[in-house]
Chain A
Amino acid sequence: MIRAIDSGLKKAALEVQEYVFLTAAAFRGVFTRPIYSHDIVEQFDLIGVGSLTVVLMTGLFTGMALASQSGLTLDQFGARPVVGRLVSASMIKELGPVLAGLMLVGRVGSGIAAELGSMVVTDQINALRALGTDPVRKLVVPRVLAGFFMAPVLTIISDFVGIFGGWVVSRFQLEVASGLYWSSVTKSLYMQDVWMGLIKPFVLGFIIVTIACHVGLRTSGGTQGVGKATTLAVVAGSVAVIAADFFVTQILIFTIYPR
């Protein structure tokens, strides 16, 4: 029993170590040559543009549901006109980053793990190395860069669409005047909230992609292993997104908010 726990702990420690090594290697790869710029452009397109639809859809529906729900709650206090404030704060600080993050895990994290995993089991990673290419520079760096920079862009889009969705519901279902909604959206927004909403997706995008790359590159056990790696990338990625969101929130609350 103790031995099982011991070996389990060792395995986990090894896994973390490998993850840190990969992240460090990716970091080095960003700042030193060779750089595979063609692959970087391709990944920005695949990860950024490719994820636009899902992010738009989730953003829109989340904003609409949020307005609807907030309307119900606010009515208890006769505070329906401030619905815009609730929608914008929730979207920008919390739901935008987290939901865009989760969507990226599902769409991008799983794809990366499956692609890299199948490259491992078919010896394509070995072939790259044999041909003189460092797989981290060729495959991991472009994906990490794309995840890091596109997650905030997608999150901002999702925030806007969500707030727009909130307006639709506020205007036509809650019958709050448009001017009132928009002024409460902007008036209540603190600069700190915007920072929080901007910093989070950088962190989340980075975490999602590095976890997926790590899991993909450690695939073993043939096609079945690829399936397992994909599932693991999604599960570990989702948990990591939500956990990282909590910790980043804590850190920011203690650093950038006035007390």
Chain B
Amino acid sequence: MKATANGLTAKQVLAEVGAPVVVFDRVQLAFDDKVVLRDLSFTLIKGHTKIILGASGSGKSTALKIIVGLLKADAGVVWVNGQRVDQLSEHELMAVRTDLGMIFQEGALFDSLTVRENVGYKLYEETDMPLEEVDRRVEEVLGFIGLAEHIDKMPSELSGGQRRRVAIARAMAFKPSVLLYDEATTGLDPITATTVDDEMIKLRDLENVSSIIVTHQLRDAFYVATHMATRDRDGTVHVVPATPQKERQAEFIMLRDGLIIFEGDADAFRNSKDEYIQEFLA
């Protein structure tokens, strides 16, 4: 591994507080002649949250797919956990992906597999973890998300919201350090949505997971940005309003016409004078 200017390896840099986990530098992407991302640059710091907003078709899902290496940008540099994913081959990307969890917009559950097999997919198929241990982990994750009784059903037997939660469980199951949520709470009732939001907050604050949240649900966006999870001395976990310092660790990004038209914390976003954002908030 190459040493940086001050003598640290990339691994050591990434272990530090405040290390950049995902970096987009002037990323561009067009499908044929339709430009989707014109010039996109942002940095996700370890343990922080990026909330990406934007109208339908503004390229939010596309940006997430670029991070995972499912799509290749036409230009620009993309760093994920110290690796240039824009330059890696599909084979080399597999190593980067072991630390990335993605929740796809439509869930993308494997419809030939049961809920259990979906959630444990990576652990069953791609790791050497003993089967009983995988089973335990799958049950644990499904328990978090309130789907324990559906473990042996097929995805087609679940409601839309249940499927979305299974997708979240599948991304969480192998404990990645970066989670990418594409509309994870869309279509959920407010109570379930809050459960999912709480889960995202807990993963971020207690497990130090870095997250990128794509959503149209402003309610969930603000909730995640303005709350934090704490653990009592006796081990119980609470989700409480965030301290101002913590609040600054969640940043909003607004995409429009392939460009970022706003970047800042929840307060700044709420008080933005931009007409488009005002309309979006209304």
Q: Identify the A interface with B (CB < 8 A).
A: 34, 36, 122-124, 126-134, 138
B104 and A132 contacting across the interface, CB-CB below 8 Å:
no
A134 and B110 in contact, given A36-B125, A129-B70 (Cβ under 8 angstroms): no
Query: Is residue B55 within 8 Å, beta carbon to beta carbon, of the partner chain?
Result: no
Expressed in whole angstroms, the Cα–Cα distance for A123 and B111 within the complex equals: 11
Q: Choose among B68, B91, B125 the residue that contacts A130 (Cβ–Cβ < 8 A).
A: B68
17 contacts between A and B (CB under 8 A): A122-B111, A123-B104, A124-B109, A124-B110, A126-B65, A126-B68, A127-B110, A129-B70, A129-B90, A129-B93, A130-B104, A131-B97, A131-B121, A131-B122, A132-B94, A133-B125, A134-B91
Query: Is residue B133 within 8 Å, beta carbon to beta carbon, of the partner chain?
Result: no
Expressed in whole angstroms, the Cα–Cα distance for A36 and B124 within the complex equals: 11
Query: Which chain A residue shows the least CB distance to B96?
Result: A132
Query: Which residues does chain B contribute within 8 Å of A132, judged by CB atoms?
Result: 94, 97-98, 122, 126
Expressed in whole angstroms, the Cα–Cα distance for A124 and B100 within the complex equals: 16
| 5 nearest A-B pairs in the assembled complex, by CB-CB distance | A123-B108, A127-B108, A131-B122, A132-B126, A130-B102
A130 and B70 in contact, given A122-B108, A123-B106, A124-B111 (Cβ under 8 angstroms): yes
From residue A146, how far is it (CB to closest CB) to chain B in Å?
Answer: 16
Query: Which chain A residue shows the least CB distance to B71?
Result: A126
Query: Which residues does chain B contribute within 8 Å of A122, judged by CB atoms?
Result: 106, 108, 111
Query: Which residues does chain A contribute within 8 Å of B126, judged by CB atoms?
Result: 34, 131-133
A127 and B104 in contact, given A132-B97, A134-B90 (Cβ under 8 angstroms): yes
A124 and B108 contacting across the interface, CB-CB below 8 Å:
yes
Query: Which chain A residue shows the least CB distance to B64?
Result: A130
From residue A119, how far is it (CB to closest CB) to chain B in Å?
Answer: 8
Kindly state the interface size class of chain B when it binds its partner: 20 to 34
Query: Which residues does chain B contribute within 8 Å of A128, judged by CB atoms?
Result: 110
Chain B positions 49-83 with a Cβ under 8 Å from a chain A Cβ: 65, 68-70
Query: Which residues does chain A contribute within 8 Å of B69, judged by CB atoms?
Result: 129
From residue A225, how far is it (CB to closest CB) to chain B in Å?
Answer: 15
From residue A218, how far is it (CB to closest CB) to chain B in Å?
Answer: 16
A130 and B100 contacting across the interface, CB-CB below 8 Å:
yes
Expressed in whole angstroms, the Cα–Cα distance for A34 and B122 within the complex equals: 13
Expressed in whole angstroms, the Cα–Cα distance for A129 and B94 within the complex equals: 8
Query: Which residues does chain B contribute within 8 Å of A126, judged by CB atoms?
Result: 65, 68, 70, 104, 108
Of B90, B98, B100, B108, chain A has the most CB atoms within 10 Å of the CB of B108
From residue B131, how far is it (CB to closest CB) to chain A in Å?
Answer: 13
Query: Which residues does chain A contribute within 8 Å of B65, judged by CB atoms?
Result: 126
Query: Which residues does chain A contribute within 8 Å of B68, judged by CB atoms?
Result: 126, 129-130
Query: Which residues does chain A contribute within 8 Å of B94, judged by CB atoms?
Result: 132, 134
Expressed in whole angstroms, the Cα–Cα distance for A192 and B126 within the complex equals: 46
From residue A43, how far is it (CB to closest CB) to chain B in Å?
Answer: 12
Query: Which residues does chain A contribute within 8 Å of B109, judged by CB atoms?
Result: 124, 127
Query: Which residues does chain B contribute within 8 Å of A134, judged by CB atoms?
Result: 90-91, 94
From residue B166, how far is it (CB to closest CB) to chain A in Å?
Answer: 12
Expressed in whole angstroms, the Cα–Cα distance for A133 and B125 within the complex equals: 8
Query: Which residues does chain B contribute within 8 Å of A138, judged by CB atoms?
Result: 125
Expressed in whole angstroms, the Cα–Cα distance for A225 and B123 within the complex equals: 32
From residue B110, how far is it (CB to closest CB) to chain A in Å?
Answer: 6
Expressed in whole angstroms, the Cα–Cα distance for A133 and B127 within the complex equals: 11
From residue B229, how far is it (CB to closest CB) to chain A in Å?
Answer: 26
Of A34, A123, A130, A133, chain B has the most CB atoms within 10 Å of the CB of A130
From residue A145, how far is it (CB to closest CB) to chain B in Å?
Answer: 18
Query: Which residues does chain B contribute within 8 Å of A36, judged by CB atoms?
Result: 125
Expressed in whole angstroms, the Cα–Cα distance for A134 and B125 within the complex equals: 11
From residue B150, how far is it (CB to closest CB) to chain A in Å?
Answer: 19
Query: Which residues does chain A contribute within 8 Å of B111, judged by CB atoms?
Result: 122, 124
From residue A64, how far is it (CB to closest CB) to chain B in Å?
Answer: 38
Expressed in whole angstroms, the Cα–Cα distance for A137 and B183 within the complex equals: 30
Query: Which chain A residue shows the least CB distance to B182?
Result: A123
Query: Which chain A residue shows the least CB distance to B124?
Result: A38
Expressed in whole angstroms, the Cα–Cα distance for A124 and B108 within the complex equals: 5
Expressed in whole angstroms, the Cα–Cα distance for A50 and B190 within the complex equals: 46
From residue B83, how far is it (CB to closest CB) to chain A in Å?
Answer: 15
Task: Please name 11 further chain A to chain B contacts, defined as beta carbons within 8 Å, in addition to the given A122-B106, A138-B125, sorted by A numbering.
Answer: A122-B111, A123-B104, A126-B68, A126-B104, A130-B70, A131-B97, A131-B121, A131-B122, A131-B125, A132-B122, A133-B126
Query: Which chain A residue shows the least CB distance to B112?
Result: A115
Expressed in whole angstroms, the Cα–Cα distance for A128 and B113 within the complex equals: 12
The 0/1 profile, CB within 8 Å of A marked 1, for residues 120-146 of chain B is: 011001100000000000000000000
Expressed in whole angstroms, the Cα–Cα distance for A34 and B104 within the complex equals: 25
Query: Which chain B residue shows the least CB distance to A121?
Result: B106
Query: Which chain A residue shows the least CB distance to B127?
Result: A132
Query: Which chain B residue shows the least CB distance to A115?
Result: B112
From residue B115, how far is it (CB to closest CB) to chain A in Å?
Answer: 15
Query: Which residues does chain A contribute within 8 Å of B97, judged by CB atoms?
Result: 129-132
